[in-house]
Chains A and B, each alone.
Chain A
Amino acid sequence: MHELGMLMNGVATLAANPMALLLSLVGVALGIVIGALPGLTATMGVAILLPFTFGMDPVSGLLMISGVFFGGVYGGSVTAILLKIPGTPAAAATAMDGFELTKKGMAGVALGTATLSSFLGGMASILVLIFLAPVLAGFALEFSASESFALAVFGLSIIASISGKSVVKGLIAGFLGLLIATVGMDPMGGFPRFTGGYTELFNVPFIPVMIGLFAAAEAFKSMEDPKVRLGMAAALGRIIPPWATYKSLLGVVSRSSILGIVIGIIPGAGSDIAAYVAYNEARRFSKTPENYGKGELGGVAACEAGANGCTGGALLTMLTLGIPGDAVTAVMLGALTLQGLQPGPLLFKEHGDLVFTLFAGMIFCYVGMLVLGLGSLRFMGRILQMPKSVLTPVILALCVVGTYAINNSLFDIGIMLAAGVAGYFMQKWDFPASPVVLALIMGPMAEANFRRALSLSGGSYDFLYTRPITAVLLTVAILTMLLPLVKRWRADRAGASGGAAAGPLEASK
């Protein structure tokens, strides 16, 4: 094992560099905080930190940035579970079941599961990065526009499974999201659509909508009844899930990690898509799919393992091909170049020692994340004991500040508040918010890539069935869309004939 030897050398080099270890821990801690705050994403954290790393030696600088990246992906889950504020788009998926668990008084176990699953998913992805990078490098190149289109369609097909109580309402919400996604610059023609002359609307204002729909809407709702504390149970409960419980999740975690790694390798697909896809597959393979959306630990584990699995996958494409698959790795590519390391085919040959030192450091980052995460959860959980009259204004203030921070734009705050009001009424009338977010992620990806694929093929639709990956993904998408409907229809028929009236109004209180 050539790689193992190299890795051992890397560990030795790293151990002699305590500053790098310290800085990577600082990076992880910063990343967790950045990820937990709405609006501040891992991308922004990495970009802000970048100038500070110029003066550091390559290993310290790059490990600090990696730490922010890893911590940022994980940190979103903490506030998503405790307060239903997704700090990152991927955490919007975690919030679906995570916040339900908090309502049930199981916040501690949910947080612990999220932390453990993030760690396992991330570690798996780094190990794949270390040992399989050259083998998997070519996979990213197989993905052209038609494959990306098929992946986006598959992503959209998940709407049915994250709709909660009513598939019809979920589809309506998803359709609404697709409509919103058409606002902005036409991806192929380069002209503005439905922008009403506002340059601010040229890019789909995705994160403000997400913050509004989840966090602001939840804050508005909590104003209805100011006396009660947020959630029913202020107690955090135990944090590390009992082994028997977690053992049953290991299947979910490993499946989700693999999905995350594969999606991470694909250019243009990141942790948000991975979290939703992992959630969907966990539900598909679960023995109790009906519990998903009502507070199922498997849902939390799947989202977090998937999202963090992406980190190693995205790094793999960036390091081996010199091509960033998403916004974070694009900034990291800049960081590497500034340190005099040109990512790409020559990196492993010319700077093999340094690359493996970095790999060793990345493993350390994930271990650090596990320790810091578990160690700080009890403290973070105190948030639940804050009186609502304090917490609600704080949440709203965070929403406003976080939204402003994305683009330094007041216009975005307006969008966020409008989405918050819409989200409030959607909650009242039982329309799920997640399909809107999913449609906003997948809609533009599907449209742009479908039209690009048509351009590439000279206007022929043959790419829909002649390209194997495309055909497989589209088939899976159709099955995903139809199976729950068929199952539900069957269950309804069985239920109707059996006369068992399922209470449709499962009130939240």
Chain B
Amino acid sequence: MSKNEITITIDGVECRTTEGEYILNAARANGIFIPAICYLTRCSPTLACRICLVEADGKRVYSCNAKAKEGMEIVTQTEEILEERRAIMEVYDVNHPLQCGVCDQHGECELQNYTLELGVDSQHYAIADTLRETKNWSTVLHYDAGLCIVCERCVTVCKDMIGDSALKTGPRGGGPLDKGYKETMPKDAYAMWNKLQKSIIVPSNGTEHTNCSDCGECTAVCPVGALTERDFVYKANPWELKEIPATCAHCSSGCHLYYETRFSSIDNPEEMIFRVKNEWNFQSLCGAGRFGYDYENRNVSKDEVAFAQAVAALQKAETIRFSSMISNEEALMLQRLKEEKGIRLVNPEVRPFQRFLTAYAKSSGRSLYGSDYREIMEESDFVVSIGAALRNDNPNARYAFNNVQKMNKGAGLYFHPVGDTLVPTFGKSVECITHKPGQEETALYLVLDLFADKEALPDYLREYLEGFHETRKKTVKEKVMKEVTEIVKDEETGEEKEVKKKVPEMVEKEVEYDHNLLVEALGADPVAFAESFEKMMKKKESFALILGEDLYGHPHWENLAKLAALAEKHCGMKLAMIPPKSNALGVALICDLDEEAEGYTVGYNQPGDFRLSALGDGDLDMPAMNQQEGTMTTMNKRVVPTNAALEYGGYTLNDLMNALGLGKRLTVDWTMELPVDRGFQAEAFDDLKDGFLNDGTEIRGYALTPIRGRASTAKAKPASDEAVLEGTIAYRCNPQRQFNDFTDKAHQIFEAFALYASPEKAEELGEKVEVIFEEGSLTLDVVADERMNGEIVAVPDFKASADVYRLFGESRYANVTLKKV
């Protein structure tokens, strides 16, 4: 995409923007207000509200879909435009229930705001109302159709950002408009009303219930009170809630969000989180972030006995086992314990990732992958994903993948052994290759083969790749235009005439083609693939590669890291990895992890001989992530601050460090000490900024600095089939919205700790199975996941107590025996 800087004039103010940017975004970035209801940044313009009407070089255009051109003169307000806008707002107010008093959006309602902004003080239009019923679309979504203004923001965000496309507009059943309005009303307002009167939002699958990932992003973007979280309906008023900016701690996305707190009730003055809000123009949340907020460790007081025991346990501990849902500061404290006391640090979630990252660094000469997901979302038009269960592993990686398809007219290649029915719906140019587990090397070689600049590749590699190409012959059907002569009789005159016509005809033809053995090895048809790939590659300029957790635990991780580095270097691809869990990247950078636990183990939110736990079930209570301040490292390679939303009355890890003589005054005093030699900066916590600028620039915290070294020139090994698994395979993968014990604790997240399988497989397995691994077994309920495909079953790992990591070993795939129970 072009990134030429241009200058346009909006209301006499000179604005710098880039060519091809929408006028609305350019105005917003420069702090100029243009009203707009239906437009969402990062999504395609809906053109439903028509209120963003402006005059560009004397012509009326909609600023949300008119692109800026050099020297453009834009006027945002003329008398006509104001009249049009006012009429539109009046139409929006027609039959909108006057029940602001009880509405959950009251006070932050865009309909209220614009009605006031545009000075609507009387109503000129009227039509009979239609009965529109309130519905609960899912366990979390509540839709009050009576309040809906059909701006279609929910539809747009669900399609363009989330990728579920779970909503669409449906018929409302409203009567036709009075004909007289057509002459008397401003044109746009009439057109808008005409459409509004006919439509309403319905689930796109034709039922009463949405089939989606329950992320709730539609409730966030809804400008009125039509779409709300079921749990929040009529519970509190927006203005009573205190907004606390924080960072979501559930997965490695580290999304920015606001915890909204208030006293619990009249009887209970304790603060409680009522809901989560986000900057939906710049950051989309997933269901875990939005609904998994009430995982705080409540009613904790300072238990001195337990504290003394914890200090004693740490004194004699040989190993600390911890999960990655900790802040950078806590990770640093643990690392300090390792340095000072020689305690082993064990984190089975992060260890493979750390190893992989180190290997990648060795090969590429950079300690961090080169790109991030915001960049991919904004710039890429071709995304390749290898080794990630996109739908489950990381919502933002999935949103990026989807957004590229929708917004950048992109294409996507999705390599994964577990069949997924959602990913192909992201776009027409999405090709899913369901290979066997363990074939990730082949997939990466294919990427090198498809995208690499062959001239620049090392000789051995080029030769190796050429070995996969064969010239074969295939029969193709070709359309040939054939001339046919027909005799036509003119009916009126009775004359007969000879008419020459061209008629298409299919002709079979044998052609030579390039047969790609790599594609074949991955289980796809090389012919079909070559065809679709050719289409996919049209007009593509910027490529991205997303690497997932499957690679880190792969037996040939070292070779995979090497290949990833090569792909980044030679294909010109933006490379981004998905850190496996919450703060995995931070832990990987800060802690020197050990492979195995030994001796007396202290578990921090993990099993152990002595348990520190933020879940309230351990030997000493710890604050949960929404009760502490500190920093997290996101997968976008930023160190971002998070704040305590709720009070915590007990001891923190820093208190334990103090008792051991290693502590600081506050936990956030550790922020300064984050290791600069691993890419962190010596910035104090209180100096870290938070939030986004008007143009969407993220100003949260700071970006990690990649440490550069010498790239090793060791050769990559050829792809081997040693690691390929056959037979009954279990995949370590959490259901959507579940990441750890904390999401499980939240009352609005219902996904069970169960065996997930495709509907067919689930039917075959029955209700309950015993999953037998080499190391042990688990008995799980079987849940059908409609979006799964194929034979592989998914076993979640979000319950630390189940110790699924031990069962699987390092790899995410394991051969298992499934026994019906």
Do the two shown chains form a genuine complex with each other?
no
Interface residues of A, Cβ cutoff 8 Å to B:
none
Residues of B within 8 A of A (CB): none
